[in-house]
């Protein structure tokens, strides 16, 4: 879709911060160096970067996500929902929640048909996730446990789809050889409605925010952690 260049001008919140569209190369560098996954989403993405004092400090990436039925619980079209798939930043001054709120405005201007953003926080990475709480996202709860694979030798996690897309029986072969083992995982699920109708629809799903994670991560530095236990605020007016 056509990019709204005027937003790049209005997003200069101070003399030190600039938000603008990011190139694939810049986004890839940020993800590989500043995000725990170290890999880009495989689906079509919208990439928005942040600069402080002209220095590139990170990227926010939206995409269609890996779950083809993600739209079904909300009774909307698949093209009306997207996923916040990466928040990858180096050391910076501006709270991520503030940067993210600007990025959402970019996304809405570029894709006016969107109604809902979903994002997941991984408790195993120490995420609860304060940036969403500070931004007024709606916490829906934890996901149904899903299966991932873990390499026995390294402990590295790989999504089941990554291995199962290989030849038939490849995952079973690796398990029988003791190369991988199955791991059941859950994640925290957050929702950001992009219009008032969607907000009214999903507000009944809201649960109390999970408590602050015990350790810091590159995704949720300590200066961006929100208060736990509260219902979503209206920090992002529609």
CA 13, 111, 35, 205 dihedral sign is positive
Q: Closest Cα partner for 11 from 3, 20, 2?
A: 20
How would residue 9 be classed by pLDDT, with cut points 50, 70 and 90?
very low
Exposed, middle or buried, 110 (CB in 10 Å: 0-12/13-18/19+)?
middle
Residue 1 CA to chain centroid, in angstroms?
Answer: 21
Share of the chain above pLDDT 70, in %: 74
Q: Choose from 26-35, 64-73, 136-145, 149-158 the range with maximum mean pLDDT.
A: 26-35
- Of residues 238, 163, 228, 148, the one with CA closest to residue 199: 238
Give residue 1's pLDDT. 43
Counting Cα atoms < 13 Å in the Cβ hemisphere of 189 gives: 15
**Does residue 110 surpass a pLDDT of 80?**
yes
Residue range 142-198, pLDDT digits in tens: 887 666 777 777 777 776 666 766 677 777 878 887 777 777 777 899 999 999 999
Q: What are the structural domain ranges in the chain?
A: 5-142+187-224, 145-185
Cα–Cα distance, 151 to 217 (Å, whole number): 22
Instruction: Give residue-wise pLDDT tens across range 189-208.
Output: 999 999 999 999 999 999 99
User: 51-74 burial, b for 16+ CB within 10 Å, e for fewer?
Assistant: bbeeebbbbbbbbbbeeeebbeeb
Check pLDDT > 90 for residue 88.
yes
Which residues are CB-contacts of 64 (< 8 A; sequence separation ≥ 6)? 43, 44, 78, 82, 83
Q: In this structure, which CATH number among 3.50.50.60, 3.30.420.610, 3.40.630.30, 3.40.50.1000 belongs to the domain 5-142+187-224?
A: 3.40.630.30
Query: Which pLDDT score, from 0 to 100, does residue 194 have?
Result: 96
Question: For position 161, what pLDDT does the model report?
Answer: 66
């Amino acid at each position: 879709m056509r990019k709204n260049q005027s937003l790049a001008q209005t997003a200069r919140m101070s003399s030190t911060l600039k938000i603008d569209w990011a190139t694939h190369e810049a986004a890839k560098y940020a993800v590989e160096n500043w995000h725990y996954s170290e890999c880009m989403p495989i689906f079509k993405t919208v990439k928005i970067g942040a600069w402080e004092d002209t220095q590139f400090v990170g990227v926010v990436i939206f995409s269609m996500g890996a779950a083809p039925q993600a739209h079904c619980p909300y009774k909307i079209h698949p093209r009306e929902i997207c996923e916040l798939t990466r928040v990858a930043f180096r050391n910076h001054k501006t709270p991520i929640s503030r940067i993210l709120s600007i990025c959402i405005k970019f996304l809405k201007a570029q894709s006016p048909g969107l109604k809902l953003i979903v994002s997941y926080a991984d408790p195993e990475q120490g995420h609860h996730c304060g940036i969403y709480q500070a931004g007024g996202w709606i916490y829906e709860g934890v996901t149904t446990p899903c299966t991932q694979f873990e390499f026995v030798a390294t402990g590295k996690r790989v999504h089941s789809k990554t291995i199962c897309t290989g030849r038939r029986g490849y995952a079973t072969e690796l398990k029988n050889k003791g190369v991988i083992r199955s791991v059941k995982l859950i994640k925290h699920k957050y929702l950001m409605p992009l219009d008032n109708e969607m907000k009214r629809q999903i507000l009944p799903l809201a649960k109390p925010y999970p408590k602050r994670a015990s350790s810091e991560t590159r995704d949720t530095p300590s200066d961006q952690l929100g208060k736990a236990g509260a219902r979503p605020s209206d920090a992002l007016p529609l």
